[in-house]
Structure 1
Amino acid sequence: MVGKTASCAAMALTVGAYAWPEQAHAVAVAAVVGLTAVSCAGIQKSALLTRVIVAVVLAVLAAVVVAAWTSGSADAARLDADSDTTVGGVLQAAGLLFFAFAGYARIATLGEEFRDPARTIPRAVPIALGITLVVYAAVAVSVLAVLGSDGLARAAAPLVETVRVAGVGRLAPVVQAGAAIAALGSLLALILGVSRTVLAMARDRHLPHALAAVHPKSQVPRHAELAVGSVVAVLAATADLRGAIGFSSFGVLLYYAVRRATADRP
């Protein structure tokens, strides 16, 4: 719960960093408040908003990939690994990159609200991971081909920088907006997932039982969602983006390590 709450703050700050860098914290808090309100309105509304966000983001990413490879700036030679690559650097990158793949677990945490979860979840998880891997790979290869590893490391907004170097700077505002929308989608999924974890822990009396209340009309754990939204809003107002991402990755890797260590025990 701690790791994923930090993830929520990281995504909220990412929204602010792309949408309005000078007021990143204020935008982050507004995003948390708005998406908490959507999640409290019911899972159907959250699912509809998620579909719209995914469609917009995939369209923007496809535009970036096409722009990269149809320009004269792309060079496959830039995909070669740098000679300075170290084992420590790869491990550090893997630890941070785990943050980008951990969203599949949100599928399982929403299992109570699925139709036929025993059938849906085992199918949805590999499909989600597969699609994500393909999209990440396509974008990563395209960006590296245009910017190279050094340029990518220096870029504050890699996809925006990619379209600018590719000669289609007019796409930059669209890509910037798409990045903010993508972060909103991740934030919504995280708020939904963390609130359901809080609900389960409250039912088992590991957290105050009042957080286990489910709204009779919308059938969502509003108390848990409001509690999560409040904590994330405070973090979004005070935390640093890199620190939030790093702490989130640490927390997530730690609890996966604990789960793996206990998996084989009788």
Structure 2
Amino acid sequence: MSGTSPTAAGVPDELRRRLGVPDAVLVGLGSMIGAGIFAALAPAAAAAGSGLLLGLALAAVVAYCNATSSARLAARYPASGGTYVYGRERLGEFWGHLAGWAFVVGKTASCAAMALTVGAYVWPGQAHAVAVAAVVLLTGVNYLGVQKSALLTRAIVALVLAVLAAVVVTVLPSDAADAGRLDIGADASAGGVLQAAGLLFFAFAGYARIATLGEEVRDPARTIPRAIPLALGITLVVYALVAVTVLAALGPQRLADATAPLSQAATAAGADWLAPVVRAGAATAALGSLLALVLGVSRTTLAMARDRHLPTALAAVHPRFKVPHRAELAVGAAVVVLVATVDVRGAIGFSSFGVLAYYAVANASAWTLTSAEGRPPRAVPVVGLLGCLALAFALPLSSVLSGAAVLALGAGVFAVRRVVGEQRGA
């Protein structure tokens, strides 16, 4: 993301427009179908029981509205930056700053959730130690300028889809899968379903990667609006099949208590051979997501530091490795602190609050578009904005309080920066 221009973010003045609809859909799938589905089902079941399926549908509706609003804004502003740019251009500098702040906060918590997912599936008894090691390792990898390639992204998506397919095909028809456990919503309250939707939103959050490809797709006004719903629809079908399978195998209570739901579902179905495969797939997906997240958050931190929304010391670029090394070390340190102090459920809730705040700004920005600017149907940003706020404040109270406090801190930083700037100008 960038607060000024693509050049300010350290990329060429003009990126090559080489991606068509299939390519953009693959990018969206690579961003969404990852470790989130391995981690988010358990806290959703704890909130809503079998109502997690209703929560999944609600999360998808909000994600669709967010995606549509983001796509229309991306078509209007076909440059790297996302809601950091949209909020600034449509609502004012403060809202752009707040969106960028929410992105950094939410995605830093996502890094912690991904690291803890690695630990939960690799070595449950030492999940936090494994998570810290993973963060340190991948921060070092990013520091040396090694990035996840498009080829690696495709390989990880293929691996994750293969693992999820194996779980569905093997577990669902088994004797352990009791269809009677799928009395959808029988044990759920409206508040529980809303909270489950907010937690499951974590597994959809990558779809905006398509909307930020404005400079890299052919005919963005046509390609992006087509690619986002296709990617989102495919992801929803995959997630629904997996959720039904795991819920049927474990039941709501066992799923709520699970630390590694998909591998435990395989064991419950008597497919012990599948459990290590699932653990390996989950760890690989989480490591891939963690690598990309650390990369993305550090670049956003760099852009905000260059715009003086964060300390300018974080804008330094390493003379040899050509990476924002101080930003990467700062992000890595913040993630290590989170990993050492929270569990995966707390990290998911905190991440969801930040990301939902980010998309609330996106929907508010989309509302200001005129029909000549490609405004979406009026209901879309309205439902998206209200949905984001409802899901954010339905999250566990600890997530709401901590998330709101961090956003308030971000607003305070903006106010101090504004006052200091005015004094210097005087």
TM-score range, shorter chain: 0.7 to 0.9
> How much does 1:45 deviate?
4.1
Q: Does 1:247 align with 2:350?
A: yes
Q: Does 1:149 align with 2:265?
A: no
Conservation of the 8 A alpha-carbon contact between 1:160 and 1:172: yes
Q: Could you tell me which amino acid in structure 2 is paired with residue 239 of structure 1?
A: V
> How much does 1:199 deviate?
2.3
Instruction: Give the alignment partner of residue 167 of structure 1, picking from 261, 265, 270.
Output: 270
> How much does 1:239 deviate?
2.7
Q: Could you tell me which amino acid in structure 1 is paired with residue 250 of structure 2?
A: L
Q: Could you tell me which amino acid in structure 2 is paired with residue 188 of structure 1?
A: L
Aligned residue in 1 for 2:206: 103
> How much does 1:245 deviate?
1.6
The SS at the match of 2:308 is: coil
Aligned length: 264
Instruction: Classify 1:45/1:2 alpha carbon distance in 2 versus 1 (closer, same or farther; 3 Å).
Output: closer
Structure with bigger gyration radius:
2
Quote the sequence identity (%). Answer: 72
Q: Does 1:15 align with 2:118?
A: yes
Which structure would you say has the larger RCO, counting Cα contacts within 8 Å and 6 or more residues apart?
1
Q: Could you tell me which amino acid in structure 1 is paired with residue 268 of structure 2?
A: V
Q: Could you tell me which amino acid in structure 2 is paired with residue 236 of structure 1?
A: V
Q: Does 1:206 align with 2:301?
A: no
Q: 1:1-266 maps to which residues of 2 (within 5 A)?
A: 1-42=104-145, 45-108=148-211, 111=213, 115-116=216-217, 119=220, 125-214=228-317, 220-265=323-368
Shifted more, 41-50 versus 127-136: the winner is 41-50
Find the aligned partners of 2:346 and 2:291 in 1 and give their Cα distance: 20
Instruction: Classify 1:107/1:31 alpha carbon distance in 2 versus 1 (closer, same or farther; 3 Å).
Output: farther
Find the aligned partners of 2:197 and 2:148 in 1 and give their Cα distance: 34
C-alpha distance after superposition, 1:15-41 (max 9, x if no partner): 112211222222112211222233344
Conservation of the 8 A alpha-carbon contact between 2:148 and 2:291: no
C-alpha distance after superposition, 1:173-216 (max 9, x if no partner): 22122222222222222212212221221232212334334567
Find the aligned partners of 2:218 and 2:140 in 1 and give their Cα distance: 26
What are structure 1's unaligned runs of at least 5 residues?
none
Q: Could you tell me which amino acid in structure 1 is paired with residue 347 of structure 2?
A: A
Conservation of the 8 A alpha-carbon contact between 2:171 and 2:271: no
Find the aligned partners of 2:226 and 2:146 in 1 and give their Cα distance: 20
C-alpha distance after superposition, 1:221-251 (max 9, x if no partner): 3443333222212322333322222211222
Instruction: Classify 1:129/1:224 alpha carbon distance in 2 versus 1 (closer, same or farther; 3 Å).
Output: farther
Find the aligned partners of 1:122 and 1:56 in 2 and give their Cα distance: 27
Find the aligned partners of 2:146 and 2:218 in 1 and give their Cα distance: 15
Q: Could you tell me which amino acid in structure 1 is paired with residue 283 of structure 2?
A: A
Find the aligned partners of 1:123 and 1:191 in 2 and give their Cα distance: 28
Conservation of the 8 A alpha-carbon contact between 1:82 and 1:149: no
Higher share in helix = 1
Q: Could you tell me which amino acid in structure 2 is paired with residue 136 of structure 1?
A: Y
Shifted more, 160-169 versus 35-44: the winner is 35-44
TM-score by length of 2: 0.55
The SS at the match of 2:259 is: coil
Instruction: Classify 1:121/1:229 alpha carbon distance in 2 versus 1 (closer, same or farther; 3 Å).
Output: farther
> How much does 1:132 deviate?
2.1
C-alpha distance after superposition, 1:127-163 (max 9, x if no partner): 4423322221121122223233333233332212221
Q: Could you tell me which amino acid in structure 2 is paired with residue 28 of structure 1?
A: A
Instruction: Classify 1:56/1:69 alpha carbon distance in 2 versus 1 (closer, same or farther; 3 Å).
Output: same
Q: Could you tell me which amino acid in structure 2 is paired with residue 167 of structure 1?
A: G
Find the aligned partners of 1:233 and 1:48 in 2 and give their Cα distance: 28
Conservation of the 8 A alpha-carbon contact between 2:120 and 2:259: no
TM-score by length of 1: 0.84
The SS at the match of 2:337 is: helix
What are structure 2's unaligned runs of at least 5 residues?
1-103, 370-426
- The two structures, once aligned, show a CA RMSD in angstroms of 2.9
> How much does 1:265 deviate?
4.6
Find the aligned partners of 2:137 and 2:274 in 1 and give their Cα distance: 27
Conservation of the 8 A alpha-carbon contact between 2:144 and 2:321: yes
Instruction: Classify 1:51/1:220 alpha carbon distance in 2 versus 1 (closer, same or farther; 3 Å).
Output: farther
